[in-house]
Amino acid sequence: MNFERLKNIKDKFETLSKSISDPNVIADNKEWTKLVKEHAMLEPIVTQYDIYKKTEKDIENAKKLLKEEKDPEMLELAKTELEEKKEQLEKVENELKILLLPVDPNDEKNVIIEIRSGAGGDEAALFAYELMRMYKMYAEKNRWRVEDVDINITELGGVKEAVFQIFGDGVYRKLKYESGVHRVQRVPDTETQGRIHTSTVTVAVLPEVEDVVVEINEKDLKIDTYRSGGAGGQHINKTDSAVRMTHLPTGIVVTCQDERSQIKNREKAMRVLKSKLYDYYQSKADKEYAENRKSQVGTGDRSERIRTYNFPQGRVTDHRISMTIYTIDTFMNGDIDQMLEALRIADQTAQLEKEE
């Protein structure tokens, strides 16, 4: 345990406490908001540190009492308290270690989710639609806002490709482990002999980035407009409102046809492009970071098969943490918190082991 670091954090917390009460600082809303946010981030660490110091003191008092006390009943009480406080100290120390782990700077950001059907044809597209529905239902449970960017619906009601955004507090922190290949095993409606088919869908979860993070030169962009279309060639409207944006240096292409306004589609497409470029350059330039992501629970490698949805057996298995949930119906209805929490804990455990 790095006690010097903890002491410095507490000193900084107390300084911030004074600053956010200073009328001059309060008058500068931007600065005050920044300091309040920093203060709130440090508060859980300082609270646990205070509990740790108090528990240490309680242990010292219990040990002292054991040496001085003669009454058998009091001695027994002191022994019991000592054991309880030792257990508490170990628990608080572990919580402090977790709180001191490096914070992912993207954790509080909104996300852009891309879902693409893979192997399996129509069945893969149908499952891609179900995954999109699952994430949207999860967003609804958390009272997050969802905006479609580009949804490519097939003739049978599946999804060949879907891009949508989710806005809310800590969205990336919750959903960042969902990137990868999702495999489904079930009997398709079109299967006459009852054979189980295996299909795959790729999910990518990208943090939305601010303008200051990614700069895009207008000369590097090729922007095309076309008429928005739906399944079967049915036109949503008769104007060229849909936008296709190509970043020439990387070849990254983004399309948006959700809005009737070309201007709004351009704005959405640009948000998605910036996030994709941020992800592209970060993965390329920061190799060490990419390796760290893979060594935890695979939040970075999109080609990694992360989960299997077996409908005949009613189970969902995450292969990174060997966890199986046997309530596939509720899971597909957005009840995925249990799995997401297990992934978060596994990631923290891996990081703690790396630190030691």
Mean local confidence (pLDDT), 126-130? 95
Model confidence band, residue 231 (pLDDT cutoffs 50, 70, 90): very low
Do 256 and 276 sit in the same domain of this protein? yes
pLDDT of res. 232: 41
Residue 306 has pLDDT above 80, yes or no: yes
Mean local confidence (pLDDT), 286-309? 60
Do 167 and 290 sit in the same domain of this protein? yes
Question: Among 30-44, 50-64, 221-235, 292-306, where is mean pLDDT lowest?
Answer: 292-306
If we measure between CA atoms, which residue out of 114, 239, 238, 92 comes closest to residue 165? 114
The structure's pTM equals 0.71
Do 319 and 199 sit in the same domain of this protein? yes
Q: Flag whether 48 is in a domain.
A: yes
Model confidence band, residue 19 (pLDDT cutoffs 50, 70, 90): very high
Residue 312 has pLDDT above 90, yes or no: yes
Do 79 and 131 sit in the same domain of this protein? no
Q: Decide which of 212 and 93 is more confident.
A: 93
Amino acid at 185: Q
Give the phi and the psi of residue 217 in degrees, each rounded to 5.
-80, 125
Instruction: Report in angstroms the alpha-carbon separations of 193 from 98, 189, 198, 238.
Output: 52, 10, 15, 44
Q: Flag whether 105 is in a domain.
A: no
Q: Flag whether 219 is in a domain.
A: yes
Mean local confidence (pLDDT), 155-180? 92
Residue 128 has pLDDT above 70, yes or no: yes
Question: Among 115-124, 159-168, 216-225, 228-237, where is mean pLDDT lowest?
Answer: 228-237
pLDDT of res. 302: 55
Question: What is d(CA 131, CA 138) in angstroms, rounded to the nearest whole number?
Answer: 11
Residue 249 has pLDDT above 80, yes or no: yes
Do 191 and 334 sit in the same domain of this protein? yes
Q: Which domain holds residue 45?
A: 3-99
pLDDT of res. 162: 92
Residue 298 has pLDDT above 60, yes or no: no
State the average pLDDT for the chain.
86
Q: Decide which of 58 and 235 is more confident.
A: 58
Model confidence band, residue 78 (pLDDT cutoffs 50, 70, 90): confident
Question: What is d(CA 37, CA 19) in angstroms, rounded to the nearest whole number?
Answer: 12
Domain end, chosen from 40, 73, 99, is at 99
Do 209 and 146 sit in the same domain of this protein? yes
Do 77 and 149 sit in the same domain of this protein? no
pLDDT of res. 209: 83
CATH number at residue 221: 3.30.70.1660
Q: Flag whether 106 is in a domain.
A: no
Domain end, chosen from 37, 72, 99, is at 99
Question: What is d(CA 67, CA 109) in angstroms, rounded to the nearest whole number?
Answer: 54
If we measure between CA atoms, which residue out of 95, 272, 246 comes closest to residue 264? 272
Do 188 and 69 sit in the same domain of this protein? no
Mean local confidence (pLDDT), 54-60? 93
First CA to last CA distance, the chain: 10
Residue 304 has pLDDT above 60, yes or no: yes
Quote the number of domains for the chain: 2
If we measure between CA atoms, which residue out of 249, 348, 295 comes closest to residue 287? 295
Do 15 and 140 sit in the same domain of this protein? no
pLDDT of res. 296: 43
Residue 337 has pLDDT above 90, yes or no: yes
Residue 137 has pLDDT above 60, yes or no: yes
Do 183 and 243 sit in the same domain of this protein? yes
For 81-92, letters b (16+ CB in 10 Å) and e give bbeebeebbeeb
pLDDT of res. 233: 41
Do 123 and 20 sit in the same domain of this protein? no
Q: Flag whether 356 is in a domain.
A: no
Q: Flag whether 354 is in a domain.
A: no
pLDDT tens, 99-116?
A: 888 888 888 899 999 999
Mean local confidence (pLDDT), 310-338? 96
Domain end, chosen from 68, 99, 130, is at 99
Model confidence band, residue 87 (pLDDT cutoffs 50, 70, 90): very high
CATH number at residue 42: 1.20.58
Do 119 and 231 sit in the same domain of this protein? yes
pLDDT tens, 183-225?
A: 999 988 767 677 889 999 999 999 988 755 677 888 889 998 8
Model confidence band, residue 142 (pLDDT cutoffs 50, 70, 90): very high
